[in-house]
Amino acid sequence: MCGIVGIVGREAVATRLVDALKRLEYRGYDSAGVATIDGGRLDRRRAEGKLVNLERKLAETPLPGTIGIAHTRWATHGAPTEANAHPHFVDGVAVVHNGIIENFSEIKDELTAGGAVFATQTDTEIVAQLLAKLRRDGFGRREAMHKMLKRVTGAYALAVIFEDDPSTIMAARSGPPLAIGYGDGEMFLGSDAIALSPFTNEISYLIDGDWAVIGRDGAHIFDLDGNPVERPRQVSQAASYMIDKGNHRHFMEKEIYEQPEVISRALASYVDFLAGRIRPVAGPIDFAVVPGLAISACGTAYLAGLVGKYWFERYARLPVEIDVASEFRYREIPLNPASAALFISQSGETADTLASLRYCREAGLKIGAVVNVRESTIARESDAVFPILAGPEIGVASTKAFTCQLSVLASLAISAGRARGTISEAEEKELVRHLSEMPRIMSRVLNTIQPTIEQLARELAKCRDVLYLGRGTSYPLAMEGALKLKEISYIHAEGYAAGELKHGPIALIDENMPVIVIAPHDRFFEKTVSNMQEVAARGGRIIFITDTRGAAASKLATMATIVMPDVDELITPMIYSLPIQLLAYHTAVFMGTDVDQPRNLAKSVTVE
C-alpha cells in the first residue's frame, strides 16, 4: 500500500526522501513522487512505475529544499499515471495520502460547484482542494488543517506542506499508520519505523484521530477536537534489522531460507525446551475456561489461522469460528463475550483485520494478536500480543511470517490443550520435541530440494492453470500453495480439499493441468491417494509432495515426486510450506516476474 515520508531537515531532503521511500517499496506501489519547498516555491517530481524512474527525473532536474514530503502510490481511485501520482498540488498546498477518503465525491461535487477544477481522478486531491479553499476563505494553516480533518471521512494517513511555511509538515492519521521520528534539529515522518530507521530510532506513533504539526525542533500533536495530546516516544527496533538481500537474488528467497533461524527464535520465546513444555500463556486470555475461539485474518495469515483451527480443535478441544476478516466483520456473527478472539497479521495494520478486532472488542471478547510488527495498531489494540518474531518481511509474498505464525499458533494450541486438560504432560513433551526438531529438519529440506524444485518450476512456468489438493492441515496448505503461485507467477491456481475434487474441480483435469498433491503419510494418506487415482485416471499430471513412507506406499505414476522427511503431523504444515514456497518462487523466477513486488499487490493493506 501507499508509503509516506516527510523530512523537515537542515540539509537537502529530496535524495533522503527517495531513500526512505525505497525502504517502503516492499509495501507495493505503482507510481511515486516527491515535493519540496525551496526559495518560497513548491516543486515536485513524479513518475509512473518504480522508484528508478523518479530517481532518473531527479537526476535530470534536481529538487533542492530542506523540507519535503514523498509518496509511493498504490492506485485505488484513478489509474497509476504520473498525473494521479502524489504529491498533489493546489494553490500552494501539497498533499500525500495513504488510504481512501470515503466522502470524496460529495466534497468534490461541492467544491466543483464552487468553481474548483480537478486535475486528477484521485480521492486525495479533495484534501488539497479543501485546504486551498479554506486558506482562500481566510483560515490559517492549522485551522484549515483542523477544519479539513473534521470534514473528511474514511481512512487516511496524510502529510501536508504549505508553500508559505517552509519549516512545518502537518500530518494526520485515521487508519493507516504514521510515525513521527525525532532527530537532531531535524524531524521525520513515515508510514513505518523501517522507513525512518536510517534517520532515527526515536519514534512516536500517531493514533487514530491524531494530527500533528511538525517543525525542525519537535512536534505538537492534537486530537480531533484540537486538544493537545502526548504520544509516548519509543525506541524502535527497526534499525537493528539488516534490510538487505544478502547473497540472495530476491528478498523472498532470502526470507524462505531464513525460516529455520527465525522459527528457532520464535519458538524459543514460547517453548521451554529443557522442561519439554510450552511456557504458560499468562495474561488476560485464559484458554482453560474460554468456551470458544474466534479467529480472523486475511490472505496468508488467514490460511495460517485455518491450520490453527485444526490444532486448537484437535489438541485443546476448543471450538474455533474462523473467517476472512472482510467477511467476519460484516457477518453479524453472534459471539459469546466469554470467548476469546485471535487476529493474525504480519503487518498488524490490515484494515479488515483491524475492523474485525474492533467488532469483537465491542462484543466484549478478550483479544489476542498474533503479529509480526509489535508496534502495530492491531498489537496496540489487543489485550494480549503473541509476537511471531519473524523480523521484517520485505517480499510482498508472505513466507517466513506464515511459518512463524504457524509456529506460534501450534505453541498456543498445545498450551491451551494443557490448560484444558485435553493433552497430558507426556503428550505435551512429545509435541514439544517435534517442535524442537523443526528448524533442523527445515534446514535439511532447504539444502536438498532445490534441484528437484527448479526442474519442476521450469515445467510449471509453461502452464496456465494449476490445482493444489490436500486434506487436514494440508488443505489450508494447498490453498497457500495456490495463493503463492498465483500472486508471484500470475499462473492461475486453486487450492482444494482433496475430498472436494469430485464435487466440481475434477472437470478441469486433463493432460495440461498439473495437480500438486500434498500428502504426508498421515491418517488421511489413503484417502488422498484415492483422490490422486481419480486425477490419474483422467490423464492429469500429478506432482506428489509426500514423505519417504508415502513415496514407498504409492504406486501411482507421477510427473514428479518431492520426497520430504517423515515428520510428526504437528509440524507438517511448516515443513511442507518449504516446497510450495520454493516452487512458486522458482516458477516466478523462470517467468521473469517481479518476485518481490508482484503487480497490483501491496504488503500492508490499509484500505477495505
Dihedral angle, C-alpha 431, 437, 441, 443, nearest 10 °: 130
Quick check: is 2 catalytic?
Answer: yes
Whether residue 534 contacts residue 501, with contact meaning beta carbons closer than 8 Å, is answered with: yes
Known catalytic residue: 463?
no
Indicate the residue among 93 and 390 with the shorter CB distance to ligand F6R: 390
Least distance in angstroms from the C-beta of 482 to ligand F6R: 11
- 486 CB contacts (<8 Å, ≥6 apart)? 492, 493
Query: Would you say 135 or 486 has its CB closer to ligand F6R?
Result: 486
Q: Of 8 and 307, which has the nearer Cβ to ligand F6R?
A: 307
Nearest to 458 by CA among 599, 559, 576: 559
Binding residues vs ligand F6R (CB under 6 A):
298-301, 345-347, 350, 353, 397-398, 483, 487, 604-605
Cell of 333: 456473527
As measured in angstroms, the least distance from the Cβ of 50 to ligand F6R is 20
Give min distance, CB of 603 to ligand F6R, in A: 7
Nearer to ligand F6R, 193 or 501 (CB): 193
- Tell the smallest beta-carbon distance from residue 605 to ligand F6R (Å): 5
Min separation Cβ 303 and ligand F6R, Å: 8
CA nearest neighbour of 493 among 506, 479, 503, 507: 479
Q: How many CB atoms lie within 10 A of CB 425?
A: 10
Gyration radius of the chain over CA positions: 25
Active-site entry in 22, 108, 486, 603: 603
- Alpha-helix residue ranges (DSSP H) falling in 387-424: 400-419
Nearer of residues 122 and 347 to ligand F6R, judged by Cβ: 347
Q: Residue 345 or 597: which CB sits closer to ligand F6R?
A: 345
Indicate the residue whose CB is closest to ligand F6R. 299
Instruction: Measure the CA–CA gap between 5 and 442, rounded to whole angstroms.
Output: 38
Q: Angle CA(527)–CA(528)–CA(531) in degrees, nearest 5? A: 95
Among 2, 298, 360, 404, the active-site one is: 2
If the CB atoms of residues 84 and 372 are measured against ligand F6R, the closer one turns out to be: 372
Nearer to ligand F6R, 38 or 208 (CB): 208
Asked if 12 and 66 count as a contact pair (C-beta separation under 8 A), the reply is yes
Least distance between ligand F6R and beta carbon 222 (Å): 29
d(CA 591, CA 460): 10
Nearer to ligand F6R, 353 or 528 (CB): 353
3-state secondary structure at position 32: strand
The least distance separating ligand F6R from the CB of residue 583, rounded to whole angstroms, comes to: 14
Distances (CA, A) of 45 to 36, 73, 401: 9, 14, 35
C-alpha separations of 24 from 182, 323, 383, 395, 602 in Å: 19, 29, 29, 11, 11
Three cell numbers written together for 74: 498504490
The residues pairing with 173 across neighbouring beta strands, listed in sequence order, are 157
Specify whether the CB–CB gap between 546 and 520 falls below 8 A. Answer: yes
Q: Distance between CA 27 and CA 194 in Å, rounded?
A: 11
Minimal distance, residue 300 CB to ligand F6R, in Å: 3
Q: How far is the CB of 309 from ligand F6R (least distance, A)?
A: 16
CB 188 within 8 A of CB 6: yes
Residue 473 Cα to chain centre, angstroms: 22
Question: Which of 283, 319, 569, 287 lies closest to 417 in space, CA to CA?
Answer: 287
Pick the closer one to ligand F6R by CB: 35 or 477: 477
- Using H for helix, E for strand and C for coil, what is the string for 450-489? HHHHHHHHHHHCCCCEEEEEECCCHHHHHHHHHHHHHHHH
- Alpha helix stretches (DSSP H) within 462-602: 474-489, 525-537, 548-553, 572-591
Between residues 107 and 483, which has the closer beta carbon with respect to ligand F6R?
483
Mention every residue, 6+ apart, whose C-beta is less than 8 A from residue 145.
131, 160, 170, 172, 211, 213
State the minimum distance, in angstroms, from the CB of residue 453 to ligand F6R. 18
> 109: burial class by Cβ within 10 Å (0-12, 13-18, 19+)?
exposed
| Residue 301: CB minimum distance to ligand F6R, A | 4
Give the separation between CA 199 and CA 385, rounded to whole angstroms: 28
Active site residues: 2, 603
